[in-house]
Amino acid sequence: MENKRYSVGKMMEEWGAGKAQTLTFVVTNDCNLRCKYCYVTHKEKGKIMSLQTAKKFIDLVLMDEERRKCEAVILDFIGGEPLLEAQLIEQICDYFKIRTYELKCSWYWNYRINITTNGVNYNDNAVQRLIKKNSGKIYIGITLDGTQRKHDLQRVFPDGSGSYSIIEKNISLWMKQFEASTKVTFASEDLKYLKESIIHLWNMGIKNVSANVVYENVWKEDDDIIFEKQLKNLAEYIIENDLYNKYYCSLFLDYIGMPYTDEEKNNTSCGAGKMLSVSPEGNIYPCMRFYDYSLNKKRGYVIGNVEEGIDYEKVRVFQLAMYKYQCDDECLNCPVAKGCEFCQGFSYDESESGTNFFKTKYICKMHKARVRANNYYFAELFHKKGIRRENFIWKKDLLFLLNDKYESGCSYYNNQSKKNKVMEKETILEGLKYAEKNFLHPIFIHGKEDTGYLLDDYEEIEIMHLIPIELYLKGYHFWEYQIIVEFKNIKLCEKITEQDSIIFNISEKNINELFLCVEYLLKKSKRINVNIQNMSKEFDIQIYEKELKKCAEKIIEIYQITGVLKEINILTDVMFINNHESCGAGDKQYTLAPNGKLYICPAFYSEGLKSCGNMKEGIHIRDERLYKEQYMPLCNKCKAYQCENCKYINKIYTNEINVSPSFQCKKANIEKNIAALLRQALNLEKIQNVKTNSIVDPIEYYKKNY
């Protein structure tokens, strides 16, 4: 716990990210290597860009007011092998500087030159003159694929011989001139060398390694297993040798493995169309992957030329390039979609109709293997070093009911005093494998009398433990846990230290003591998750409202004295979320019961309702769509986003999973209205505004409008 930072898993900052216009010059179609995985499949000698073509392209862009709105520009030079034409690159850069100075363009100061090279001729005089002349404004990255046997397997000369030994000679000079960063590409044949290759590059002094697998359809059966194993082995090496805050590898990123948000569906994986690429012939492309030399099935996607300008009717397509239009339902609804990138140019080439609104899926299994390995890495980092993953929230859970007498962590009250089936360890292990495979966050729900399953011996998995306070006081602590406190046992909290969060269960018959309990618990916790259990038609809304107002006043009082905003889920959650994060049963949450079967939620198991599947055959829910928010008609009309909306209560009282009884809706809207007054009193910019609502039961909307 001595250093709670990590760089392996953090995205490197790029110069001008999101602010810079990229201009790509394909200065030559020729290359001195014939890398086997290269996407440039049509290399051609003698096809070299003329200086005149480059000048026309620069003038064209500089006259484009829309393009010049960008704060900065990146001059990106590629090939083939771009440094075969180092002198030409020097001349192009000279012209750019002269023209931006003449036009008093801000790009004169705000530009960078970027070149990616294979490094074969890095020490040539022309290359070194280019570097010296543009010092401070140029970055050159050399592609070195790892160990010699890995590198020479793919990056070969035309005669088939490996290039490692020649490139290695230039590495020391390169590292003196630039902060060393390289890109490594893996295909099926070289996956088995992944771990040793990344370590080899780090040991050479190359701290920043961007790595990826190829997008093409090259993957064989079990390649994903090899990939995952290599990544997990690398993760163990990183942690064992305390390298997690010293190096960077893009195969580990802390944000991947979540579904797309609605906002993220408006993005796409690359900047095609926002960048511009010009070929030796003077044709302009949305990026160089749309150029003929990298396409195998389609003709190049030309959006203009240096003589006639850019056809903005064709650019319109790329302004609409978003996941929600390019992906099918499978990808859009994938539980681990985030981080699964794709190349628009390659997808265009692979599409049957020649459309840009298409995404290939060849790396699907490889991405999922990477996500599982990332989850393993960050779980190990947390358990062994106390370093928690940032930028990640689990979107789906699997609850493990360790025995029949589990302590409920929601509004359902478990009163199964006669049954006491205990989950066997084999079932736990099988459940953890099922959770890993399906990207579910395991949550262990303990009972007061747990005995055999309390040891935190699952270090490779990120597990949340919900434990009764009685168990906590016996000394059973875990890396990640929440204490559950019942109304009748609240005084036991005297014996605990301050917690980040406490789950507090209170029945509706004791609701008149809610404030006193909350007041007491706020001394012991930064946040309280209140569950009102045994709710019924007799729930006293008036008493509840009075108690909530006193709770709100207490939050204000604490904030005014200490400057600390204490949280109570039923009052403050609505200030931080803008959509329903209610009961996820059957949609974002499933339950593994002691009998080894899967259920919608703990209540469905404990009350003897039908199972929804098992770990061998998976989850199969009838009318699954009804468990999703968009198919809940009352919720669609309601802004009480903090509402629990218990699906078990729904089923018992209305006979429908997706329709809440009136008392549940009224409870939620009273909470929201008091939260609005609380928000107004706090007047904090960091929390969103909440408006009061005169209608507390959303069914009234339908009565008025239909």
What is the DSSP track for 174-208? HHHHS--EEEEEE-GGGGGGHHHHHHHHHHTT--E
Under the banding of pLDDT at 50, 70 and 90, the label for residue 315 is very high
Burial letters for 127-159: b for 16+ Cβ neighbours within 10 Å, e otherwise? beebbeebeeebbbbbbbbbbbebbbbbbbeee
pLDDT at 263 over 70: yes
Q: Give the model confidence (pLDDT) of 202-235 as tens digits.
A: 999 999 999 999 999 999 999 999 999 999 999 9
Q: Give the model confidence (pLDDT) of 126-162 as tens digits.
A: 999 999 999 999 999 999 999 999 999 999 999 999 9
Mean pLDDT over all residues of the chain?
A: 93
Q: Give the model confidence (pLDDT) of 408-421 as tens digits.
A: 999 999 987 677 88
List the 181-186 sheet strands across, edge first.
Answer: 181-186, 208-213, 248-249
Give the Cα separation of 281 and 469 in Å (integer). Answer: 73
pLDDT at 690 over 50: yes
pLDDT at 451 over 70: no
**Mean pLDDT on 172-197:** 96
- SS3 helix, strand, coil % of the chain, rounded to 5? 40, 15, 45
pLDDT at 1 over 60: no
| 677 three-state secondary structure | helix
pLDDT reported for residue 449: 76
pLDDT reported for residue 457: 66
**Mean pLDDT on 390-400:** 94
pTM recorded for the entire structure: 0.92
Type and span of the H or E element at 170 = helix 164-177
Q: Give the model confidence (pLDDT) of 605-627 as tens digits.
A: 999 999 999 999 999 999 999 99
pLDDT reported for residue 87: 98
pLDDT at 450 over 70: no
- Of the candidates 399, 429, 404, the one whose C-alpha atom is nearest the C-alpha of residue 601 is 399
Share of the chain above pLDDT 70, in %: 98
Task: Enter the tokens of residue 173.
Answer: 């000079």
Type and span of the H or E element at 527 = strand 527-533
**Mean pLDDT on 178-187:** 94
pLDDT reported for residue 127: 98
Under the banding of pLDDT at 50, 70 and 90, the label for residue 68 is confident
Helical pair 194-203 and 223-240, crossing angle rounded to 10 deg: 40
pLDDT at 268 over 60: yes
pLDDT reported for residue 455: 57
Strands 618-619 vs 613-614: parallel, antiparallel or unpaired? antiparallel
pLDDT at 453 over 70: no
Under the banding of pLDDT at 50, 70 and 90, the label for residue 169 is very high
pLDDT at 705 over 70: no
Give the Cα separation of 42 and 157 in Å (integer). Answer: 16
DSSP state of 575: G
pLDDT reported for residue 528: 97
pLDDT at 24 over 90: yes
Q: Give the model confidence (pLDDT) of 455-487 as tens digits.
A: 556 778 899 999 999 999 988 778 899 999 999
Least confident of 29-43, 385-399, 456-470, 577-591: 456-470
Under the banding of pLDDT at 50, 70 and 90, the label for residue 680 is very high
Give the Cα separation of 226 and 213 in Å (integer). Answer: 13
- Beta-carbon contacts of 609 under 8 Å, excluding residues fewer than 6 positions away, are 599, 600, 603
pLDDT at 454 over 80: no
